[in-house]
């Protein structure tokens, strides 16, 4: 976390996107293990495909071509994933591969858009705060008051009470950030609710893929914490919606935290 903070605030934006891109690249490798665990050449080909798609998006963005509809498509995708989880959809390799593309390519584009403005670092910290608030709130409320399981077949530790507690904490974090940025706190409190919901969908989807693959953690790169995807699953899902909201509000291009 210290390295990330130092990169965000003391190095050029390109350094931050490089570091975050490395996290996404590592996460994509771990994702390939959900459905290609014993097929190394295909795993490499899948990750290479993601890199090529992300590179194409980056080159287009640098040339001034915006693909903001991709953010909306990603949001719709995560809504479909939520419905799939709710109705107990089955897991298969093709679906897992498509889910990875829909997670990482829009996620990378959202990061590039986020850091294209002067306040990219602060906006990214704001998003982290919202997602972390949802996670921490869900944990403590669930631990104290949790009685009803949210998705017992996917993540037995999550409760509905914790989920609602996480939503409230995310709304408060979003409202606090909006207040600092001079934006309408009430509107962004609602946005925080939506962002938290999408982040939970991302978390549950990765949990289901891991369970299907017989994995406890997505990887071992972080000793004691599992893999990169274990840490960024919620964030990757929430990024497109967050950036879409910022774009619609005009907060991507101005110095909102001055």
Is residue 110 in a domain? yes
Range of the domain at 164: 2-249
Domain membership of residue 256 (yes or no) is: no
Total structural domains within the chain: 1
pTM: 0.93
Asked whether residue 145 is assigned to any structural domain, the reply reads: yes
User: Could you give the 3-state DSSP secondary structure of residue 226?
Assistant: strand
DSSP 128-157: HHHHHHHHHHHHHHHHHH--SEEETTTEEE
Kindly state whether residue 141 falls inside one of the protein's structural domains: yes
Question: Per the domain annotation, does 125 fall within a domain?
Answer: yes
In a domain, 103, yes or no: yes
C-alpha 19/C-alpha 13 separation (Å) is: 10
Give the separation between CA 151 and CA 166, rounded to whole angstroms: 15
Decide if 13 is inside a domain.
yes
pLDDT digits (tens, 9 = 90+) for 117-153: 888 889 999 999 999 999 999 999 999 999 999 998 8
Question: Coil, strand or helix: which one is 159?
Answer: strand
d(CA 75, CA 34): 22
pLDDT in tens, 51-105: 999 999 999 888 888 888 999 999 999 999 999 998 887 888 999 999 999 999 9
Res 107 pLDDT > 70? yes
255 lies in some domain:
no
């Amino acid at each position: 976390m210290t390295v990330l903070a130092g990169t965000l605030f003391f190095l050029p934006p390109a350094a931050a996107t490089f570091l975050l891109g490395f996290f996404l690249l590592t996460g994509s490798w771990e994702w390939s293990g959900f459905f290609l665990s014993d097929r190394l050449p295909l795993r490499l080909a899948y990750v290479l495909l993601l890199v090529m798609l992300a590179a194409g998006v980056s080159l287009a963005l640098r040339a001034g071509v915006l693909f903001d509809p991709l953010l909306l498509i990603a949001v719709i995708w995560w809504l479909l994933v939520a419905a799939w989880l709710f109705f107990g959809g089955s897991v298969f390799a093709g679906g897992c591969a498509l889910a990875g593309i829909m997670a990482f390519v829009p996620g990378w584009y959202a990061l590039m858009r986020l850091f294209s403005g002067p306040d990219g670092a602060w906006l990214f910290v704001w998003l982290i705060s919202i997602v972390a608030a949802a996670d921490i709130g869900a944990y403590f409320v669930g631990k104290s008051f949790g009685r009803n399981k949210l998705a017992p077949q996917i993540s037995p530790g999550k409760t509905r009470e914790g989920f609602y507690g996480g939503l409230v904490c995310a709304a408060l974090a979003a409202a606090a950030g909006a207040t600092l940025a001079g934006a309408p706190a009430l509107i962004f409190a609602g946005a925080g609710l939506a962002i938290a919901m999408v982040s939970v969908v991302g978390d549950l989807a990765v949990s289901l893929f891991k369970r299907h693959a017989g994995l406890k953690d997505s990887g071992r790169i972080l000793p004691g914490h599992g893999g990169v995807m274990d840490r960024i699953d919620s964030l990757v899902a929430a990024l497109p919606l967050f950036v879409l909201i910022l774009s619609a509000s005009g907060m991507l291009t101005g110095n909102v935290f001055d």
